[in-house]
Every structure is written in structure tokens, then in C-alpha cells.
Amino acid sequence: MKTSDFYYDLPKELIAQDPLEDRAASRLLVLGKKDGRIEHRHFRDILGYLKPGDCLVLNNTRVIPARLYGKKEDTGAVIEVLLLTRKSDQVWETLVKPGKKARVGARISFGEGLLVGEVIQILEEGNRLIRFEYEGIFEEILDQLGQMPLPPYITHELKDKNRYQTVYAKYDGSAAAPTAGLHFTPELLQEVREMGVKIAEVTLHVGLGTFRPVKVEDVADHHMHSEFYMVSREAADTINSARASGGRIICVGTTSCRTIESAAAEDGTLEECSGWTDIFIYPGYRFKVLDGLITNFHLPESTLMMLVSALAGKEHIMAAYQEAVQERYRFFSFGDAMLIV
């Protein structure tokens, strides 16, 4: 299976640059995973595709303002640092630009010295381990100095940081939002509960591994970066109960999907657990838990295109994307949604 098999042509003007004022007003393409049937709806219509006894799985991670701009202490050169994974209280794995100016020992000052980082190690793929020095609470300093790590294809400034958070975000740790969840409002979630649909919250702190371009031609040669996940006892019980009673497990986003598929036993049951996952789901994968997926439209040749193709079949997905382009759907993080059931 080739990476190029997952390419499609997308006009740049279809890349959403700003979130809609009303989260739930986005469009919704509904795709039948077995027959490839397509319906065009709006996101609020999601209620018509859920049934009492189903279980929605949400990823309650919270995006941190992980992009920092600082200056090298010795030369004054501007350095961009993106926080990826916290390794200890003071040490983070980071992505640094330009990397050639961030050798081991380089010291970078942020906010006129409010925060200072020292590069202590260069990892295999070029990421840097940086040890930070500061006084006070790191999260408060980061909130003051950091910017939301919007993807490079979004060029507009985000006026409200909360629009790159889900309304149910709880636990700090992500370098990117689980964007399928951006369409939900508190009111819509309440309607979901009132119709008898169970809701389970899991946590996966989204790193850049999910979004890194696939640089190999043979899909099977691609390696995912690890991301930390947690499944609580309550979430495991809720999912197990829904499955046992015949309900469908519908994940909100590919990160929720990857969490429960990583955590599940071969028979699809879940226990309370946490750990690191580098699961890579592409056509041929057999899902243990997931029955349906709410997701956004993904970049060509990405691992996320491969994941949705594993669920609905590559031919159905490529046909749906072609129709979404023709119908002028909005693509990527702030774009429209797809329901695969």
C-alpha cells in the first residue's frame, strides 16, 4: 500500500482559516462505512444518527499554549520552540526552529528572562530536550508567554484561545487540539445525554506524531511517535456496559479512537489503564472497540486519511472527499465534520 494512494487534490481556498461563530453550525457529511452512501447535513443533525444506548467517546485533553518565541542569550537570534512532551518538571521534548542555532548548551530567553531554556540533548529525529529555569508556576508563565500551536496551514490570528479548545477540555498536555470535538457545544452534549446516549471521557495528549507527514512510499514503513493516554475506571465501565447492551461505540476524533483501540484487550473490553501508544491504524486493521467515528477532513497522504480508510474503506473515503471538495466543504482543523457509521 502506497502513501500516494491517499492523495487528493484540495483547492487552498477550502482550508478553513477561522472557526465558525457557532461551533455546531458546521456542515456534516455522513458516510455509510459499508455501502459508501453519502448524506449532507449540519452538525446539529448528529442527534438523528445517534441511538439510546450508544456511547460517545470524547478526548478531554486540553491544548497548552505550547509555541514560544525567544532569543538566544549570546547572539539575540530569534528562536521558535514548540513544546511537545513533558519529560520531567523542568525538561520538555521540543521542536525548535531554526534547529541549527539550537545546539547543546544553547540558552534561550523568553519574555525578557521570565523563562530561560537550555538545550541539553538533541534526539535522533532532531527534536531537542530543553531544561527550563523559572520562578513561580510554569503553567502560569506559559499562559502568559505562549501562543496556541495552530497548524501551519492556518495563517489567520486566533482572536480567542478558547476556540482551539473543546468545551469539555480538562487536562493540560496537548500540542494540538482533538479538532473533531470543536463542533460540540455544552447544549448539544446535554441533548445527547438526554436522548439516552452514554458519554465516556478518555485522555490522549496529542503530540505532533499524528500530524507528521508520511515520508515513506510504503505505508507499512511509517513509524508513529508515542503519545500518552489515560482511560479511567469510569470510562472503561461506561464503554464496556454500552457494548454489552448492544450499543455502538462512536469516537469523537481519531485521538479517542486511537486511545480505546490501544487500551482494549483482544475481545474489545477495557480496563482502567494509562501508558504510551504509537498505534498506527491503516487499511487492514481490525477494530476491537470502535463502531463509528466523528472526525474532520484530513490532509492528503496523512496517517489520519489512512485511519478513516481503515474504517470505511479507501474507495469510499476517496469518493467522499471528492464530493466534499465539489460541495465546497471547509477542510482541516476549523473546518466541517464527517460522521462515519
Q: What is the pLDDT of residues 73-91, one digit of tens each?
A: 999 999 999 998 889 889 9
Cα(85)–Cα(208) distance, rounded to whole angstroms?
A: 10
Ranges of residues in the chain whose predicted pLDDT is under 70: 209-211
Look up residue 330 and give its three cell numbers.
471547509
SS3 182: helix
Cα(118)–Cα(141) distance, rounded to whole angstroms?
A: 17
Nearest to 99 by CA among 66, 135, 127, 61: 127
pTM of the predicted structure, to 2 decimals: 0.92
Look up residue 243 and give its three cell numbers.
457494548
Question: In the prediction, which pLDDT does 226 show?
Answer: 87
Q: What is the pLDDT of residues 201-246, one digit of tens each?
A: 999 999 876 667 788 999 999 988 889 999 999 999 999 999 999 9
Look up residue 262 and give its three cell numbers.
490501544
Strand partners, 320: none
Number of other residues whose CB lies within 10 A of the CB of residue 48:
9
Question: In the prediction, which pLDDT does 42 show?
Answer: 98
Cα(109)–Cα(107) distance, rounded to whole angstroms?
A: 7
263's enclosing H/E stretch is: helix 254-263
Look up residue 308 and give its three cell numbers.
478513516
84's enclosing H/E stretch is: strand 78-86
When computed from its CA atoms, the radius of gyration of the chain, rounded to whole angstroms, is: 20
Look up residue 121 and give its three cell numbers.
540533548
Q: Are strands 55-59 and 198-204 parallel, antiparallel or unpaired?
A: parallel
Question: In the prediction, which pLDDT does 209 show?
Answer: 65
Query: DSSP per residue over 99-130, as a string?
Result: GGG--TT-EEEETTTTEEEEEEEE-TTS-EEE
Cα(136)–Cα(319) distance, rounded to whole angstroms?
A: 53
Question: In the prediction, which pLDDT does 146 show?
Answer: 94
188's enclosing H/E stretch is: helix 186-194
